[in-house]
Amino acid sequence: MKTLRFERSQMPLLEYGISKLPLTVGRGTDCDIVLLDEEISRKHCKVDEIEGQLVLIDLQSRNGIFYKGQKVSSAPLEAETSPSIASWNICVQNDVQREQEKTVYLATPTLLGADTNSQPSSSSCRWILEAKDAEGNTSHLFLSEKTYIIGQDKNCDVCLNDPYLSRKHCSIVVKQNSLEVKDLESTNGTKINGISIRKSVITSKTQIELGKSSISLKPRDEKMHHPIALKSFGRLLGESQSMKLLYKLIRKVAPSEASVCIEGETGTGKEVLAKTIHEESKRSDKVFLALNCGAIPENLIESILFGHERGAFTGASERRAGVFEQANGGTLFLDEIAEMPLELQTRLLRVLEERVTRRIGGKEDIPVDVRIITATHQDLKHLVERGKFRTDLYYRLYILPLHLPPLRARKEDVALLAEHFLRVLSPEQPKTLSSAALAVLTKHSWPGNVRELKHTLERSALFCEHNVLDASDILLAPAAEGKLRPLREQEKERILELCRKYHGNQSRIAEELGMARTTLISKLKSYQIESSEFKVN
């Protein structure tokens, strides 16, 4: 029997035994092979046989089929060059005796890594899952480091046709060198090697029994338990010594429930690190919510953090849950924590200590179970010494500090990151770098860090008309991308400017800013501005 093989970035993610033709491929759950990917149409293409050869045929999809760099209506599947749809390459393996008539549902692009920061490396696909449903149909899936849900529900990562399974029966969390199998309060339970379990960690070949179905898990490579030279970890990419040290720290920090504080310059990838910690934690199957404290106007941040009841203030037309409620059970990432106003730091401290929150205008405390990860590009200890950040909150948040190095301190990662970004920009036919172009990138100081490198490559690849970028094709930004100032800093400067313009007249200043005078007075107090100092005698 011939087998269809689906790969992403040269990494096999799904195999499908061809037991019937035609086979439809698409995002819709009524297809034979379902790829939950935004770039895939509901019915994208089909596999059929023409004159004895397997062919991939486009079904008027939005993004089409690509073959040898060209968009085509059909392409051979058994030739040396494989056709592709979106970021997926499809090929055929001969003489592989596997039966599979049940669809394996893959995760969404966010989990699989279709975007810049989540593209999995080949080193992360370390296990092979073989599932057999109640009718004897088998499915094979290569597992990368994330959480897989198994059950009858069509939204599960692995959907099995078995009436004895719950809709969401169990989960498998793939870690660096182990798997964590957890029963999701299923009706008939989950067994490992004949023993009922609620949660179990496995490190070798294992048989899982659920309903009338079974799942075999085995290491893809027997050498997987040996030390390896990591080039990536979770969503992070880099093989420098500083990044390898960070990977080791993440392994220790992630399983803990303690608060983590990430320090790093703008553009280093602090949110990417926070997501990696979440995905390696016990809360990986729960929500991850990110909030940038420096990008929210001060008059809104309290409502966004803690929520409000209907009628609590002008404009509060309906009840709103705060981010602590929304992230309950999961992880809340507070970026630019140093930008949080002092008066709100007191309320945040109460949530952390008592594990309860209260909406604005509310009368009852609401219990919350949230792990807090914070990040800042500033020196929090220095802010504490200056009275700009509460000492008690500092010690409550700064339990597990992690430092994310700037790109200029890990120049050996530039080539790896550049190759990755170029591959993501054009998965069908990625551009490459000449040695001269790489030298330009390596020499640059990257004040905007990884974000600036990504933007530089996007700009350079867009205007380059050939497949190899040379030194002259590298379009560095004329101004440093890392110099963007927080919103509060810009707002303070604007208020000072108007104080000088109107000589401290609060009514005139408030009118030009389009805010109530009471709101302006609150902001003047927050920014420690004395408007009376600007009055003309």
pLDDT digits 0-9 by tens, 104-127: 333 333 223 333 333 333 344 568
- Give me the mean pLDDT over the 245-256 stretch: 90
* pLDDT for the residue 163: 86
Task: Return the CATH number at 452.
Answer: 1.10.8.60
So what's the pLDDT on residue 228? 35
Average pLDDT over residues 73-90: 86
Q: φ and ψ at 454, to 5 degrees?
A: -60, -50
DSSP state of 107: P
Q: What is the pLDDT of residue 298?
A: 75
Residue 442 has pLDDT above 90, yes or no: yes
Q: Is the pLDDT of residue 7 over 60?
A: yes
Label residue 481 by pLDDT band (50, 70, 90). very low
pLDDT band for 426, please (50, 70, 90 cuts): confident
Does the CA dihedral 512-513-514-515 come out positive or negative?
negative
- Type of residue numbered 328: N
The residue-averaged pLDDT of 349-354 equals 91
Q: What is the pLDDT of residue 284?
A: 85
pLDDT at position 96, please? 42
Look-up of token digits 């149909």: 137
The answer to whether the CB of 171 falls within 8 A of the CB of 208 is no
Residue 47 has pLDDT above 70, yes or no: yes
Mind giving me the DSSP string for 508-531? HHHHHHTS-HHHHHHHHHHTT--G
Residue at token pair 């790109």: 407
Residue 112 lies in a domain: no
Residue 35 lies in a domain: yes
pTM of the model: 0.52
How far is the first Cα of the chain from the last one, in angstroms, to the nearest whole number?
A: 93
Query: 248 and 388 share a domain?
Result: yes
CA-to-CA distance for 220 and 143, rounded, in angstroms? 9
Mean pLDDT of 228-243: 78
The average pLDDT across 166-177 equals 87
pLDDT at 101: 34
- Find the domain containing 382 and state its range: 233-403
**Within a domain: 102:** no
Number of domain units in the chain: 5
As a whole number of angstroms, the distance between CA 262 and CA 282 comes to 19
In tens, the pLDDT along 484-499 reads 556 677 778 888 888 8
Residue type, 479: A
Q: What is the mean pLDDT of residues 313-335?
A: 89
pLDDT of residue 500: 85
* Domain annotation covers residue 478: no
Same domain, 257 and 363: yes
Do residues 246 and 347 both lie within one domain?
Answer: yes
Helical H runs in 307-379?
Answer: 323-326, 342-354
Closest CA to 266 of 498, 482, 40, 103: 482
Instruction: Kindly tell me if the per-residue pLDDT of 154 is higher than 50.
Output: yes
Same domain flag for 296 and 380: yes
Give the CATH number of the domain where residue 510 resides: 1.10.10
The answer to whether residue 228 is domain-embedded is no
Q: If you compute the radius of gyration of the chain from its CA atoms, what whole number of angstroms results?
A: 27
Please indicate, yes or no, whether residues 425 and 395 belong to a single structural domain of this protein: no
Q: Say what the pLDDT of residue 97 is.
A: 36
Domain boundary among the residues 403, 436, 463 is at: 403
pLDDT at 10: 61
More confident residue, 321 or 159: 321
In what helix (H) or strand (E) does residue 104 lie, and over which residues does it extend?
none
Question: Where does a domain end: 403, 422, 452?
Answer: 403
Confidence of residue 479 (pLDDT cuts 50, 70, 90): low
Tokens 């997501």 found at: 275
- Report the range of poorest mean pLDDT among 96-110, 267-281, 308-322, 404-418: 96-110
| Average pLDDT over the chain, rounded to an integer | 82
Distance CA 465, CA 331 (A): 44
Instruction: Check pLDDT > 50 for residue 264.
Output: yes
- Phi then psi for residue 399, to 5 deg, are -85, -50
Share of the chain residues as helix, strand and coil, in percent rounded to the nearest 5: 30, 25, 45
Residue 416 and residue 390 share a domain: no
Ramachandran angles phi, psi of 390, nearest 5°: -65, 135
- In this structure, is residue 389 part of a structural domain? yes
350 in the same domain as 262: yes
Residues 413 and 399 in one domain: no
Is the same domain home to 318 and 364? yes
Predicted pLDDT of residue 143: 81
Extract long-range pairs of 312-321: CB within 8 Å, 24+ residues apart.
Answer: 312/359, 312/360, 312/361, 312/362, 313/360, 313/361, 316/360, 316/361, 319/359, 320/359, 321/359
pLDDT band of residue 433 (cuts 50, 70, 90) is very high
Residues in the chain: 537
Residue 244 maps to a domain: yes
Domain boundary pick from 403, 425, 458? 403
Beta-sheet strand order (sheet of 190-192): 70-72, 65-67, 84-85, 88-93, 3-8, 11-17, 138-143, 127-132, 213-219, 206-210, 190-192, 195-197
Both 452 and 521 in one domain: the answer is: no
pLDDT of residue 118: 36
Is 370 in the same domain as 269? Answer: yes
Instruction: Check residue 13 and give its pLDDT.
Output: 66
DSSP assignment of 357-377 equals: E--BT--S-EE---EEEEEES
Task: Let me know if 370 is exposed, middle or buried by CB neighbors in 10 A (0-12, 13-18, 19+).
Answer: buried
486 DSSP 8-state letter:
P
Q: What is the CATH number of the domain that holds 158?
A: 2.60.200.20
Q: Are residues 250 and 265 in the same domain?
A: yes
Do the domain assignments include residue 103?
no
